[in-house]
Every structure is written in C-alpha cells, then in structure tokens.
Amino acid sequence: MSRNPISAMRAAPHATPRERAALGKKARRRSPRSGHAEYKPSRKRPDPLAILEEQSAARVPELVPIRYGRMMESPFRFYRGAAAIMASDLAGTPRSGFTAQLCGDAHLLNFRLLASPERQLMFDINDFDETLPGPWEWDVKRLSASFVIAGRANDFDDAERARIVRSTVRSYREAMIRFAGMRTIDVWYVKIDADLLESLAAGRLHATKHGRRNLAHALAKARTRDSLQAFDKLTDTVDGRPRIAADPPLLVPAGDLLPDVERAALERQFRGLIERYGRTLASDRRTLLEDYRLADVARKVVGVGSVGTRCWIFLLLGRDDQDPLFLQAKEADASVLAAHVGASRYRNQGERVVSGQRLMQATSDIFLGWERVDGFDGKKRDFYVRQLRDWKGIAMPERMRPKDMRAFGELCGVTLARAHARSGDRIAIAAYLGGGDSFDRALATFAEAYADQNERDHQALVDAVRAGRLPAEEPPAS
C-alpha cells in the first residue's frame, strides 16, 4: 500500500472533479447500484460458528462462555458479535471499486455521543476495533442491516423497516453529494455537536416528541458519564486508599488475577505500559498524563464482540485521591476485514485502531494512544488506550418508535458519510450514488435478506450451545 493512506484510497487523487465524477458514473456499468440488493449465501460459505471459534481460540478461555452467552440473548446481540461473519459474507457482494477508511463494525450502537477535547458533546462513530481501508459499501450495508434487525426486535412491520433503511441510506447518499461539492479542508471541519443534534431533531429529522424527549435525556445523561461517575461506581476505599472493587468475572483486580506476582512487580509492569503508551501522545497530552499516578488496575469485560479479548482499566489519581482518571487498555488483534482486503500497513494493531479512529472521527479522545506489551505469559500483544468514560451516551433502539429510529438512521447516515468523505474519493462515490434512490432501495432489500441470514446464524449458535458444542453462560430465562 502507498505510504500515504489517503491517496491510496482515492481512485484518481490528482484528477479534476469532472474526471473523478466520470469515474464514479463509469463504475455503475461494472457494478449497477441495483445489484447491491443481492445477498445469497455462497455454497462455500464458511461455517459461521467456526469463525467464532477461531476468534475465541486467541481469547481468555474463562471469558469465552460469557461472549457466547451474550450473543445468544437475541439476534441483535448476536449481530454485534458477528462482525467477522459478516465481513466474510460481504467479501462476495458487489462493489463499486472505490475504497475508504472503514469502521468495520458500523452497526447502529457504534454511533453515539462522546466528548470533544474542547468539552463539547459530539455525535460520532465510536468503535474502531476492526477499522481498515476497504469498500465503502460494506460499512453502509452493516449499518443498514443493523436497523432491520433492531426494527424486527421492536416488531416494526416490513414497510416501517424499509422506510428506516431507505432514509438512512438516502441521508448517507445526499450527505456524500454535499461533501463532494465542498472545499477539501471544509469537509475535515464538519462535525455534529449537541446544538446541531437538537436543531436536527426539532426540524429536519423525523423524530417524534417522544424521540426529542429521549434525546434531551440522553444529552443530559451523557455529560455525567465521566471518570468521576466511574470512580463512584467502580471503586471502594481500602486501607484509606481508593481501589477498584472486584465484581468477578466482569471486573477483577489485577492482584486477584495474578496472586503469585508481587504487587510491586505488577505495579512496575503496568506503570511501564502507561509510560511507554504516553510516548504515542502529543507532547502536551503526555505532560498532562505525567501529572497522574497509577493507583490500581483491573481486568474488565466489555461489549459483546470484544468479550474474551484482554481489556485492562487503570485508575490514575491526579491532584489528590478525589481526582480520578480512568483509562482503558484494550487488546487489538488483526481486523476481521484483513482476510478480505489485505493486512494493515501498521505493524502494531493498536496503532491501526488509533490511526483509523483519528481519520474517521471529527475529533478524538486526548488520551488515545497505543502500545505493545510483553504479557505475564510471555506473549506480545498490541493494545490501544483511551479514557474509559468521557461523556459517552449510547442509543437505546428498544425505546424507539419507527419515526425515531428513522431519525436516528438519518443521523447515522450523514455521520458515516462524513467519516468516509475524509479518506475516500467523495466525488467519485457521490457520482456513483447519484441523485436517484436506486442505491437506497437496493440496500433496503439487502438488509432484509441479511437480517434473515443473521437470524439463521443466531439460531445455529443457540442450537450449538444447547447441544454442547460451544460453552456459554446462558442468559436467565425471561
């Protein structure tokens, strides 16, 4: 790959806008927009459970049953953990030939509220574990299918789900067309902040009064989700000092996991990790990090698809014992897209995640960095580091009415288009999509077909657990 990842993702980076638009229109002949409606599983389709088992082989063994248990809970929970399965399926679908930096796991719950370094509440993509350059359509398809799966969980009818997906994709398409007409630097300045969210909900989006109330509540709640809130929730006072409280197996202090290692040796290991990771930060942020001291470390189980990967949280203290900062170090393995689009240009998978996040997000966490670690088992592993909580707010699709989910889809669509427009050839992609709704309608059809596939795969997991093939901590019966 070119040493300039942006240039490598553009069909003709030095061509005129007219030439780039012509390339986009020409791509319709080799890959008609209506062709994106197709989804038929290949006769050689890999066993989806084998894909999950291959991932699990590299994870913490005692946590794997938690992952399967969470994925069993519903088709949507399964979908959240099945990015690798869908990547394999998408590899056989039509593509225009244009690429962009992909999220790689662009389902609707990975679009959320978060804080900018200037302490503004933003709306953006948040999860980049699978980020890699690839066909821009794959992110749009994963997002579209997630809305159908969530809509089915809410008992929305066929017409309601189709309207949600078409609106989501239309929002992406129309935003890409707007970005194609903008000055390059202005595209990089585009962001969706709390003020814009409120104005969109009140006007251009199709949200109901119920949806606007939920948005106002989410904005207010997100501002409370920070290190102080985590401090109150996750720590106890032990011998006069704050310590992370055990809640096994979901939260286990490092000393409990490694009882044979002296606490002083543990602290030296983790202090070294933080010091080395700090070198990947800008100099001003490295100075800020140096004002904190390490107080405690624990392993934390997070998410659905990530369960079983190694994830540490660090309690750091600044001015005094009531000045906490929580950092999260999350294991980064090769992207699930790599088998289908090629390996990352970055040797450190943590750097891959951080670089992709910085490229796609309008603004990123000031503590975002990476490090390679020699584990206590002697194996080297890559990690990326960020704040554990920084004004994060997540959507609750189960509370959404059809019009509210449609409004949320429109918001996700424009956000994804902005992220892709930074790295991909926005002019060629916009010309390929065009002013009509052919692509919108095609993805509504694709999303329904893939939701069917996801339900079959989810049932296969349930059956495998019940038959004893896979271990799982099953959710309690409803």
Rounded CA gap, 7 and 183, in Å?
Answer: 17
Mean pLDDT, residues 38-53 taken together? 95
Q: How high is the pLDDT of residue 291?
A: 97
Structure-block tokens of residue 261: 């290692």
Q: How high is the pLDDT of residue 458?
A: 98
Is residue 194's pLDDT more than 80? no
Phi, psi for 425 (deg, rounded to 5)? -80, 90
Q: How high is the pLDDT of residue 230?
A: 80
Q: How high is the pLDDT of residue 474?
A: 64
Query: Is 292 in a helix, a strand, or coil?
Result: coil
The strand pair at 324-331 and 380-387 is best described as antiparallel
Is residue 204's pLDDT more than 60? no
Say what percent of the chain tops pLDDT 70. Answer: 90
Mean pLDDT, residues 113-122 taken together? 84
Is residue 418's pLDDT more than 50? yes
Q: Which segments within 290-403 are labelled E, that is strand? A: 293-300, 311-317, 324-331, 369-374, 380-387, 393-394
Q: How high is the pLDDT of residue 257?
A: 87
From residue 167, give the alpha-carbon distance in Å to each of 87, 160, 206, 407.
24, 11, 10, 8
DSSP 275: H
Residue 360, C-beta contacts closer than 8 angstroms, at least 6 positions apart: 101, 103, 125, 128, 131, 419, 420, 422, 423
Is the backbone peptide bond immediately before 249 cis, with ω within 30 degrees of 0? yes
Looking at 125-226, list the stretches that DSSP marks H as alpha helix, in order from N- to C-terminal side.
Answer: 136-153, 158-180, 184-189, 194-202, 209-222
Q: How high is the pLDDT of residue 303?
A: 85
Q: How high is the pLDDT of residue 1?
A: 39
Q: How high is the pLDDT of residue 368?
A: 97
How many CB atoms lie under 10 A from the CB of residue 332? 27
Range with lowest mean pLDDT among 21-25, 233-237, 282-286, 425-429: 233-237
Pairwise pLDDT comparison (378 vs 410), residue with the higher score:
410
Confidence of residue 8 (pLDDT cuts 50, 70, 90): low
Mean pLDDT, residues 72-80 taken together? 97
Q: How high is the pLDDT of residue 10?
A: 66
Confidence of residue 477 (pLDDT cuts 50, 70, 90): very low
> Angle 136-153/158-180 helices, nearest 10 degrees?
150
Looking at 247-401, list the stretches that DSSP marks H as alpha helix, in order from N- to C-terminal side.
Answer: 254-257, 263-278, 283-290, 338-341, 349-360
- 433 within 8 A of 427, measured Cβ to Cβ: no
Q: What is the mean pLDDT of the chain?
A: 91
Total-model pTM: 0.92
Query: Is 192 in a helix, a strand, or coil?
Result: coil
Mean pLDDT, residues 124-151 taken together? 97
Mean pLDDT, residues 105-116 taken together? 92
Closest C-alpha to 352, from 334, 373, 336, 364 = 334
Residue 217, C-beta contacts closer than 8 angstroms, at least 6 positions apart: none
Q: How high is the pLDDT of residue 124?
A: 94
Mean pLDDT, residues 264-280 taken together? 90
Closest C-alpha to 21, from 12, 29, 30 = 12
Q: How high is the pLDDT of residue 203?
A: 57
Q: How high is the pLDDT of residue 103?
A: 98
318-362 per-position pLDDT tens digit: 999 999 999 999 999 999 999 999 999 999 999 999 999 999 999
Rounded CA gap, 409 and 170, in Å?
Answer: 10
Mean pLDDT, residues 103-130 taken together? 91
Q: How high is the pLDDT of residue 198?
A: 66
Rounded CA gap, 197 and 216, in Å?
Answer: 10
- 243 within 8 A of 253, measured Cβ to Cβ: yes
Closest C-alpha to 103, from 419, 432, 421 = 419
- 174 within 8 A of 137, measured Cβ to Cβ: no
Confidence of residue 478 (pLDDT cuts 50, 70, 90): very low
How many CB atoms lie under 10 A from the CB of residue 189? 9
Q: Which residue has the tokens 């929002």?
A: 171
Range with lowest mean pLDDT among 10-14, 89-93, 148-152, 304-308: 10-14
Q: How high is the pLDDT of residue 120?
A: 82
Query: Is 368 in a helix, a strand, or coil?
Result: coil
Rounded CA gap, 450 and 456, in Å?
Answer: 10
Is residue 205's pLDDT more than 70? no
Is residue 195's pLDDT more than 80? no
Rounded CA gap, 217 and 224, in Å?
Answer: 11
